[in-house]
Amino acid sequence: MTFINYAAKEINCKIVYYGPGLGGKTTNLQHIYNKTAPDRRGKMISLATEADRTLFFDFLPLDLGSIRGFTTRFHLYTVPGQVFYDASRKLILKGVDGIVFVADSQTDRMEANVESIRNLELNLQEHGFDLASISYALQFNKRDLPNVMPVDEMYRMLNFKREPTFAGIAPQGVGVFETLKSVAKQILVDLRKR
């Protein structure tokens, strides 16, 4: 839900990183945090388990500058990917403007990827959103690992609506900003069209 404050001249948009457990959602946010100038980012909050798995969400506010005199902020969230945290995932999708799906490229995680996209579709529907029309980007993460599925095969299996798709190695930052920019642009273009 884009939040436009005409009095304070601010636009706030919400982007949610979705995907199976251990796929690299939190790592994407950590990289963005590390590479963003301190005056353009807020504190990163991670509500995580002792073992560093996301328990409720990660949160990173970015302040990227202004458009037409309006300060433009993006609030990035990750969901917990582990299957049994579904109730929490639903809560975090509330009011979302755009989604990044972080898929795990390892062959043995394809089923988890497929299941997670299906889960995303259903949870979006519960909020009255449609994956077919919402701003959306796809990332094939962990391309540095040996047991990965070829990109074109993954594309056929996971691409939903010809959304922009990026190969990623999140800990090294490969593909991370490209993915974020892609979804952020779609959200802003939507703002123009309305």
Partner 1 sequence: MPTTYVEVYEEEFERLEQALRRLRYDSNAKAVFLIDKNGQQIAAVGEVEDFDTTSLASLTAGNVAATDGLAKLIGEREFSVLFHEGQRDHIHISIVARRAILLVIFDERSSLGLVRLRVKRASAEMDEIFEEMNRKESRGPGGRVEASPFSEITDEDIDSLFGD
Ligand X SMILES: Nc1nc2c(ncn2[C@@H]2O[C@H](COP(=O)(O)OP(=O)(O)OP(=O)(O)O)[C@@H](O)[C@H]2O)c(=O)[nH]1
- The SS3 of residue 155 is helix
Any contact of residue 99 with partner 1 (CB under 8 A)?
Answer: no
Provide the angle, in degrees to the nearest 10, between the axes of the packed helices 25-35 and 176-193.
90
d(CA 182, CA 187): 9
- Please check whether residue 20 is in contact with residue 115, taking contact to mean a CB–CB distance below 8 angstroms: yes
Give whichever of 102 and 187 is closer to partner 1, judged by the CB atom: 187
Any contact of residue 170 with ligand X (CB under 6 A)?
Answer: yes
From Mg ion, partner 1, ligand X, none, interface partner of 194 (C-beta below 5 to 8 A by class): partner 1
Would you state the structure tokens that stand for residue 94, as one six-digit string?
Answer: 């509330």
Residue type, 166: F
Give whichever of 60 and 112 is closer to partner 1, judged by the CB atom: 60
Give whichever of 167 and 191 is closer to ligand X, judged by the CB atom: 167
Shortest distance, position 67 Cβ to ligand X, whole Å: 30
Shortest distance, position 85 Cβ to Mg ion, whole Å: 10
- Please check whether residue 76 is in contact with residue 32, taking contact to mean a CB–CB distance below 8 angstroms: yes
DSSP 106: B
* Residue of 108, 119, 103 whose CA lies nearest to 170: 103
Maximum alpha-carbon separation in the chain: 53
Give whichever of 17 and 129 is closer to partner 1, judged by the CB atom: 129
Any contact of residue 21 with ligand X (CB under 6 A)?
Answer: yes
- Please check whether residue 165 is in contact with residue 140, taking contact to mean a CB–CB distance below 8 angstroms: yes
Near partner 1 in 16-45, by CB under 8 A? 42-43, 45
Shortest distance, position 171 Cβ to partner 1, whole Å: 21
Q: Residue 36, Cα to own-chain centre: how many angstroms?
A: 17
Phi, psi of 190 (to 5 degrees): -60, -40
Q: Which of 34, 35, 47, 157 binds partner 1 (CB under 8 A)?
A: 47
Positions that interact with ligand X (CB under 6 A):
19, 21-27, 53-54, 78, 80-82, 141-142, 144-145, 169-171
Q: Which residues bind partner 1 (CB under 8 A)?
A: 1-8, 11-12, 14, 42-43, 45, 47, 56-57, 59, 61, 64-65, 67-70, 72, 75, 87-88, 91-92, 94-95, 97, 128-130, 133-135, 177, 181, 184-185, 187-192, 194
